């Protein structure tokens, strides 16, 4: 079973992606982590990706797709994958569909975790305080949320057209949201 988790920063999508992957015995594909590993390992893809990340820009689709393709080749992916932080562009979305189709697989659902903006700001400020990151102030958070809205809207449209989009409430406890995720994908 292959599921995509969409949602703004602070929506808890990484937590839910990990819980869901564990439940289905599959794995998560978090492109932020794959990039971190590639940079740490000083691989060719990692070095290329770093140039873009150092400038604060998105990493080109080719690099992201190569990392995802490598990760999809591991045996645990057979039970299912939960995508976290990927796709971020419609091109990435189309390409991952193609990769799944080549294996006779498809995307079962794209879940959009819905959390009101005031709650997101509250969560992100609390996280910044806990991590003692004074650079993550209200203005920086608003900027991140605005960037997310811009890039996420076309993806939501894409998955709505595919007929797999489901909106799940991301408020409440981790367990309550996990339960809502479970219901949305049919138990
Ligand atoms: P994240 O940990 O998901 O916030 O990702 C950290 C950074 O990695 C982002 O700011 C982007 O520069 C890059 N990145 C992660 N995932 C992607 C993606 N799917 N497409 C392009 N860039 C990405």
Nearest to 109 by CA among 168, 169, 154, 151: 168
How confident is the model over 60-96, as pLDDT tens digits?
Answer: 999 999 999 999 998 888 899 999 989 999 999 999 9
Question: With a 6 A CB cut-off, is 31 part of the ligand 1 pocket?
Answer: yes
How would you label 37-67 residue by residue, b for 16+ Cβ within 10 Å and e otherwise?
A: ebbeeeeebbebbeeeeeeeeebeeebbbbb
| Per-residue model confidence (pLDDT) at position 93 | 97
| Per-residue model confidence (pLDDT) at position 187 | 72
- pLDDT, mean of residues 161-175: 97
What is the phi/psi pair of residue 40, to 5°? Answer: -60, -45
| Per-residue model confidence (pLDDT) at position 100 | 94
Question: With a 6 A CB cut-off, is 13 part of the ligand 1 pocket?
Answer: no
- pLDDT, mean of residues 99-112: 95
| Per-residue model confidence (pLDDT) at position 136 | 85
In this structure, which residue's CA is closest to atom 11 in ligand 1? 58
Q: How far is CA 142 from CA 71, 89, 120, 124, 125, in A?
A: 33, 21, 10, 10, 11
Walk me through the domains of the chain, giving residue ranges and CATH numbers. Answer: 2-184 (3.40.50.300)
How confident is the model over 122-145, as pLDDT tens digits?
Answer: 999 999 999 998 888 999 999 999
- pLDDT, mean of residues 25-54: 96
Q: What percent of the chain has pLDDT over 90?
A: 91
Q: Is the whole-model pTM more than 0.85? A: yes
3-state secondary structure of 5: strand
| Per-residue model confidence (pLDDT) at position 134 | 83
In this structure, which residue's CA is closest to atom 14 in ligand 1? 32
How confident is the model over 145-163, as pLDDT tens digits?
Answer: 999 999 999 999 999 999 9
What are the DSSP calls for 92-128, one per residue?
Answer: HHHHHHHHHHHTT--EEEEEEEE--HHHHHHHHHHHH
Question: With a 6 A CB cut-off, is 53 part of the ligand 1 pocket?
Answer: yes
User: ω before 87 within 30° of 0 (cis)?
Assistant: yes
**Which of 12, 29, 32 most suits a substitution to test ligand 1, by most atoms within 8 Å of the C-beta?**
32
Mean pLDDT of all residues belonging to the chain: 95
Q: What angle do CA 38, 41, 43 make, to 5 degrees?
A: 65
CA of 187 to the centre of ligand 1 (A): 30
- pLDDT over 90 at 49, yes or no: yes
What the block records as the tokens of 144 is 């991140």
In this structure, which residue's CA is closest to atom 2 in ligand 1? 32
């Amino acid at each position: 079973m292959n599921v995509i988790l969409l949602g703004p920063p602070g929506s808890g999508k990484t937590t839910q992606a990990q819980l869901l992957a564990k439940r289905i015995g599959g794995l998560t594909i978090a492109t932020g982590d794959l990039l971190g590993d590639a940079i740490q390992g000083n691989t060719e893809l990692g070095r290329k990706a770093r140039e873009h990340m150092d400038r604060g820009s998105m990493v080109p689709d080719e690099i992201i797709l190569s990392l995802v393709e490598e990760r999809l080749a591991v045996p645990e992916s057979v039970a299912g994958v939960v995508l976290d932080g990927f796709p971020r562009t419609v091109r990435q979305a189309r390409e991952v569909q193609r990769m799944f189709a080549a294996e006779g697989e498809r995307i079962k659902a794209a879940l959009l975790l819905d959390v009101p903006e005031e709650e997101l700001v509250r969560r992100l400020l609390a996280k910044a305080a806990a991590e003692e990151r004074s650079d993550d102030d209200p203005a920086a958070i608003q900027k991140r949320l605005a960037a997310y809205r811009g890039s996420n809207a076309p993806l939501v449209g894409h998955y709505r057209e595919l007929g797999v989009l489901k909106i799940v409430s991301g408020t409440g406890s981790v367990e309550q949201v996990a339960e809502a995720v479970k219901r949305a994908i049919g138990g």
